[in-house]
C-alpha cells in the first residue's frame, strides 16, 4: 500500500502506539489486515477501533443490496475526488453487478437523471445530501419506497461513513498505486 508523507503509516502491529495493540488486532481480524485508511487511523487507536465496526457492518452485515451500497460508496468517492476510495470500491461495484456504464457515468460526474434506476435515485440521494446538505421530499420518498425506514438510515449512514473515510484518505494524501478515475 502506498504511504503518505504527511503521517506515519502504522501497517504492522509493532508500529502501533503503546496500548493500541488490541485495536490493531481487532481491525486486522475483522478485515484480514490493516489497510486503506486504517494505517493512518492507527495513529489514534481508540478512534480507529471506534470507526472500524461501522464500516464492517455496512460492508458485510448491512441490509442494502451490495450493488446499491457500492453505487452510494463510489458516488461519495467521486464527490470527494477520493482516488483511494474509488480505486478500492469501483471494482467491488462492478463485481456486485453495477453496469460499467454506470460506474463510468459516476466517474465522469454525469447528471444522475441520465442514469438507469436504481443508480439514478441512489446517486441523486448521495449528491443531494452532499451538495445541498439536504434531501428533498421526492428523493427521500423514492429511497423510502425502495428501502424502508431502516434501509434509508443505512443508506444515509453509509454516505456519512464513506465521507469520513474520504476525508481521512484525502487529508493524509493516501493514494492508490494508479490513477483510478476512468
- Which helix or strand (DSSP H or E) is residue 41 part of? helix 38-41
Determine if the pTM surpasses 0.85. yes
DSSP 73-136: HHHHHHHTT-HHHHHHHHHHHHHTT--HHHHHHHHTT--GGGSPTTHHHHHHHHHHHHHHSS--
Separation between Cα atoms, residue 33 and residue 78, nearest integer Å: 25
Q: pLDDT in tens for each of the 182 residues of the chain?
A: 456 688 999 999 999 999 999 999 999 998 888 989 999 999 999 999 999 999 999 999 999 999 999 999 999 999 999 999 999 999 999 999 999 999 999 999 999 999 999 999 999 999 999 999 999 999 999 999 999 999 999 999 999 999 999 999 999 999 997 655 54
CA distance 42 to 8: 9
CATH entry 1.20.1290.10 includes domain 66-171? yes
Q: How far apart are CA 114 and CA 56, in angstroms?
A: 32
Residues of the chain with CATH 1.20.1290.10: 66-171
Amino acid at each position: 500500500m502506498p504511504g503518505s508523507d504527511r503521517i506515519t503509516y502504522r501497517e504492522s502491529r509493532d508500529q502501533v502506539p503503546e496500548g493500541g495493540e488490541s485495536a490493531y488486532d481487532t481491525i486486522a481480524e475483522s478485515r484480514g489486515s490493516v489497510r486503506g485508511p486504517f494505517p493512518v487511523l492507527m495513529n489514534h487507536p481508540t478512534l480507529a477501533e471506534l470507526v472500524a465496526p461501522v464500516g464492517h457492518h455496512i460492508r458485510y452485515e448491512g441490509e442494502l443490496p451490495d450493488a446499491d451500497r457500492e453505487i452510494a460508496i463510489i458516488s461519495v468517492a467521486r464527490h470527494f475526488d477520493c482516488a483511494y476510495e474509488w480505486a478500492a470500491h469501483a471494482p467491488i461495484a462492478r463485481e456486485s453487478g453495477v453496469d460499467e456504464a454506470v460506474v463510468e457515468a459516476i466517474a465522469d460526474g454525469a447528471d444522475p437523471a441520465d442514469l438507469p434506476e436504481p443508480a439514478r435515485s441512489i446517486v441523486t440521494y448521495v449528491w443531494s445530501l452532499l451538495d445541498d446538505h439536504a434531501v428533498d421530499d421526492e428523493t427521500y420518498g423514492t429511497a423510502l419506497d425502495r428501502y424502508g425506514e431502516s434501509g434509508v438510515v443505512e443508506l444515509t449512514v453509509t454516505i456519512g461513513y464513506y465521507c469520513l473515510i474520504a476525508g481521512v484518505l484525502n487529508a493524509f494524501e493516501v493514494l492508490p498505486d494508479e490513477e483510478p478515475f476512468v
